Structure 1
Amino acid sequence: MGLPPLSLFINASLLTGVTFFSSFAFAADKSSAELVDAVNGTRDTVSREAGKKAKLRNHAKGFCTSGSFVPNPKLQNTFAIPFFKQAEIPITARFSLGGRNLHASDKSVGRFMSLKIDGDKESLNFVTTNSPIFFASNLEEFFNFQTKVKQGAEGKQWLVDNQPNAKAFFDFIKTLPPSASFANSRYFGVNSFLFSANNGDVKPGRWSFEPVDGVVNLSQTQLEKLPNNFLKDELLTRIQQKPAAWDLYIQLAEPSDEINDPTVLWPETRQRLLVGQVLIDGSRDNESTTMLCDRGIFNPVLLPKGIKPSADPILNARTPAYIESFIRRQ
């Protein structure tokens, strides 16, 4: 079974509020095509065409699996989000590493989890990372980062010297040990969203996922004994025994918090509300939705009633760039 025709995919994107040509909204900054070129390292016509043939993409090394989401009924005491009134909602999940290398080593520190939670009438997608800090506050910084890191040590030094947000990100990554499993990683939605409260207020917040089995990291000695490809087998073997589980929270901002800049961390003392629990058990891995999930996109602004995107430029550039990348891979 193949993917729907591209025209249907584009139409679906339009219907869900994602303007296909929304790169024009930030054309004065960086267009979708420029952002994808920066991520792919395709800065000219020759490399761009080669990239299309190779179907270049970020997070190239990854796999899909499935499970369910169980909402917390008590959330309805605070938020007016009908989507979370359902008892249990199917999930399609993709776990991945960063970068374009299909053969990247699992011994790196980056862990990424993307989710599609498809309810009766609405859907909610997540694109998350195990770092709470993002490396760019705007599209110019994002473009510079993706371009310079591909230049090796010299490019990285340029970022350290010229982009404080990139330096802060590098400094944090140095302190982040590799986790023993995708299931033992925390995941963060670094962008902010606007949540509708029952009293009519709009409350900004960010998503975070806490592993029910706790964070488990690897020592250097443990890491050296593992093969380069251990994460997929570990998770798929684990969920044959019991589901991998995360508690999903919304961390609420205070009026003084910066909500449109993903490089700014909020204090850990900020209130968190339990949204529900993600359970990954592989129960629908034989269904086409799961088997084909590698070939689609996860749309972080595909949101149910009661949740809206913030004005964060990084968030609002994601989906047009994802669609641009999708088209190039066809």
Structure 2
Amino acid sequence: MQTRTLSMLIKASLFTALPMLTLPTEAAQKTISELVDAVNGTPDELSRDAGKKVKLRNHANGFCTSGVFKPNPQATDAFAIPFFTQANIDIIARFSLGGINPLSSDKTTGRFMSLKLNGDNESLHFVTSNAEVFFASNLDDFFTFQTKIKQGNEGKQWLIDNKPDTKAFFDYVKKLPSTISYADNRYFGVNSFIFTSKNGESVAGRWIFEPVNGVRAVSANELAQKPDHFLQQELTERIASTPATWDLFVQLAEEQDKVNDPTIVWPTSRKRLLIGQVIINGQHDDSKATLECDKGIFNPLQLPKGISPSADPILNARSAAYIESFIRRN
């Protein structure tokens, strides 16, 4: 890791109270700075400086709201995770679209949900999307994807022709249902975590958020009638009367499953355990923490006792990249 990047990570950890991270060996092939440049489309010093001035960030089109998490009391029958023994845990949520354009159209199919569950003594963060599969299994392929996709149709075709994992991702996204609400989507944590069972054993699992009212798809014609920007207003008006609610599950891996590869979707036959319910109701939208939500990051490695990261290189690079991006725009 470059000296400059390491120095910034140390500074960031001091003012955000986030744990320092040990990146996998593979990260040496691409520095965190290079990965952020690929996402932001800032390959040289001139574009990087311009990006800092406009505070470039991924998921630029997004907004924050709030709610509560109600753990399933039976979750602690399976897992030794004291965090889930609390009755109610406050949530700060950020819903967003992908990409660095804050004015991107809401009519795309991609939806993202990030959550901070702030408990009495610990916190748990989630970074999820409505796609169950990721486009890269390693940092080199992540860098290549972000670089090529900014070349338009030519770059996308190169990825389809040369990167099978990316082609599978594009094929998956084509089949995603169009929705007119963030509340109408399933959300997935494509990366795996290691959970401590009640008897002290370790088991790998992935997060899945199922909307209580199901996925509601709309036709292309119905979506076309919407303005370019409607998702924030729709969710804000919805939760003013009826909360948006998801059941949170952990999908458990079996021995043959590849735990450290987010491009692989595990079979639906894998056991799922209900962890609790996410209720987005806007109850703390006037709080400083919610209003200043964008002044921090959602750190997927902010984990309570009993949950640890897998060896997935994509997962283990996320926090450092988020901190690097955060520093650039502040």
What is the TM-score of this pair, normalised by structure 2?
0.95
* The 10-residue stretch of structure 1 (221-230 or 267-276) with the greater mean CA deviation from structure 2: 221-230
CA distance in 1, matches of 2:181, 2:315: 27
Contact 1:211–1:245, Cα closer than 8 Å, also in 2: yes
Match of 2:19 in 1: 17
Deviation of the 1:203 alpha carbon: 0.6
The one-letter amino acid paired with 1:303 is L
Deviation of the 1:116 alpha carbon: 0.2
Q: Does 1:323 align with 2:319?
A: no
Match of 2:34 in 1: 34
SS in structure 1 of the partner of residue 240 of structure 2? helix
Structure 2, gaps ≥5 residues long = 1-8
Contact 1:38–1:146, Cα closer than 8 Å, also in 2: yes
SS in structure 2 of the partner of residue 170 of structure 1? helix
Contact 1:116–1:298, Cα closer than 8 Å, also in 2: yes
Q: How many residues align?
A: 322
SS in structure 2 of the partner of residue 221 of structure 1? helix
Match of 2:137 in 1: 137
The one-letter amino acid paired with 1:17 is P
Deviation of the 1:200 alpha carbon: 1.2
1:54-203 mapped onto 2 (5 Å cutoff): 54-203=54-203
Distance change >3 Å, CA 310–CA 24, structure 1 → 2 = closer
Deviation of the 1:321 alpha carbon: 0.3
CA distance in 2, matches of 1:65, 1:46: 35
Match of 1:3 in 2: none
CA distance in 1, matches of 2:240, 2:327: 35
CA distance in 2, matches of 1:8, 1:156: 37
Contact 1:18–1:301, Cα closer than 8 Å, also in 2: no
Give CA-to-partner distance per residue, 1:238-287, whole Å, 9 cap, x none.
Answer: 00111110000000000000000000010001000000000000000000
SS in structure 1 of the partner of residue 273 of structure 2? strand
The one-letter amino acid paired with 1:110 is G
CA distance in 1, matches of 2:142, 2:246: 29
Deviation of the 1:230 alpha carbon: 1.1
CA distance in 2, matches of 1:8, 1:238: 40
Deviation of the 1:147 alpha carbon: 0.3
The one-letter amino acid paired with 1:10 is S
Structure 1, gaps ≥5 residues long = 1-5
Identity in percent: 60
Give CA-to-partner distance per residue, 1:69-115, whole Å, 9 cap, x none.
Answer: 00000011110000000000000000000001111111000000000
Match of 1:216 in 2: 216
Deviation of the 1:17 alpha carbon: 2.7
The one-letter amino acid paired with 1:191 is N
Contact 1:23–1:32, Cα closer than 8 Å, also in 2: no
* The 10-residue stretch of structure 1 (170-179 or 92-101) with the greater mean CA deviation from structure 2: 170-179
The one-letter amino acid paired with 2:158 is W
CA distance in 2, matches of 1:8, 1:34: 19
CA distance in 2, matches of 1:47, 1:23: 26
Match of 1:204 in 2: 204
Deviation of the 1:9 alpha carbon: 4.5
CA distance in 2, matches of 1:97, 1:28: 29
Contact 1:57–1:100, Cα closer than 8 Å, also in 2: yes
Deviation of the 1:294 alpha carbon: 1.5
CA distance in 1, matches of 2:23, 2:318: 10
Deviation of the 1:224 alpha carbon: 1.2
Distance change >3 Å, CA 240–CA 28, structure 1 → 2 = same
Deviation of the 1:179 alpha carbon: 1.3
Deviation of the 1:220 alpha carbon: 0.7
Match of 1:263 in 2: 263
Deviation of the 1:177 alpha carbon: 2.2
Contact 2:27–2:317, Cα closer than 8 Å, also in 1: no
CA distance in 2, matches of 1:34, 1:133: 23
Distance change >3 Å, CA 113–CA 27, structure 1 → 2 = closer
CA distance in 1, matches of 2:282, 2:94: 11
Match of 2:276 in 1: 276
The one-letter amino acid paired with 1:233 is Q
CA distance in 2, matches of 1:67, 1:146: 33
Distance change >3 Å, CA 27–CA 197, structure 1 → 2 = closer
What is the TM-score of this pair, normalised by structure 1?
0.95
Match of 2:225 in 1: 225
CA distance in 2, matches of 1:209, 1:231: 19
1:265-304 mapped onto 2 (5 Å cutoff): 265-304=265-304
